[in-house]
Amino acid sequence: MAEVKKPKLVASPEVAQLQQLLHDQPHNPMRPNVMEYHKEELTRLKEVINAPAYINANRGFAAQKAKRIEKMLDEQAPKAIEEPLRRDAVEKLTKGVLENVIKPAMLTHEEMRRNPVGAVDGFLRRENSAPVKDAILTWKRAMRALDPENQDVDYTNMEKFRRSSTPEGAATFMSNAQIPGNFAMTAQAKANWPLGEATSDTVMKQLARSEAAQRAVKARWAKRDAKLAAKAAKAQS
């Protein structure tokens, strides 16, 4: 009895559409630095093959290796998309897959670093699941097809899209995490409570103003009483 293959799980219709548009792209595109290395090696091998007869060289081995490299480049190098309509569709779907499928499945920086309760299972269910990993690979294939010569080492690095659960510079203390971290002030707290005197209107500041006002009132009353006593003494004399 023939084995029944399970249908491939796809994260969203956008992923399936993008995969159809990338039908002629390699499954795992070769990186530009790797392509450059192979092209340089291919040039060197062709020089060996075409070298003059008086040069002692293994031309047969060089020809075989050059043929393997040419086959590798043909099968694994990303192919630039020349058709304008197809390119526009790939660009649109690539952005949709990133925003609607990949980013929502990614855990935050804090969850990945601190490992709170449920982070491991959440990672396995979400961004490490087969459909999301397939979506990530499809997105990377599309990015290489859109710009095959891009030399940026982080061009298809997903970590640059991982969001943070707290504002920039805020504390990431998690009491229920494996690595809870240290308690720290948020950016707003640092603005209101810098090192030294607080800039916000604190209770202590309010109390100090109230006490100063009471002392001023007492001083005025004491001054008035002193004047009245002086007048009374003068009248008696």
Rg of the chain over all Cα atoms, to the nearest angstrom:
36
Question: Around Cβ 223, how many Cβ atoms within 10 Å?
Answer: 10
Q: Note the pLDDT tens digit of each residue in 43-65.
A: 999 999 998 888 888 999 999 99
Angle at 83 between CA 81 and CA 88, to 5 degrees: 80
Distance CA 155, CA 145 (A): 12
Angle at 12 between CA 79 and CA 145, to 5 degrees: 10
Distance CA 173, CA 182 (A): 6
Q: Note the pLDDT tens digit of each residue in 183-207.
A: 666 677 777 777 666 667 778 888 8
136 contacts 102 by C-beta, under 8 angstroms? yes
pLDDT of residue 1: 44
Q: Where are the domains of the chain?
A: 13-161
Q: In terms of C-beta distances under 8 Å and separation of at least 24 residues, what long-range contacts does 57-61 make, across chains too?
A: none
pLDDT tens across the length of the chain (237 residues): 455 454 555 668 999 999 999 999 999 999 999 999 999 999 999 999 998 888 888 999 999 999 999 999 999 999 999 999 999 999 999 999 999 999 999 998 888 888 888 889 999 999 999 999 999 999 999 999 999 999 998 999 999 999 887 655 555 666 667 666 666 666 777 777 776 666 677 788 888 889 999 999 898 898 888 888 888 777 777
Task: Name the token pair of 1.
Answer: 């009895």
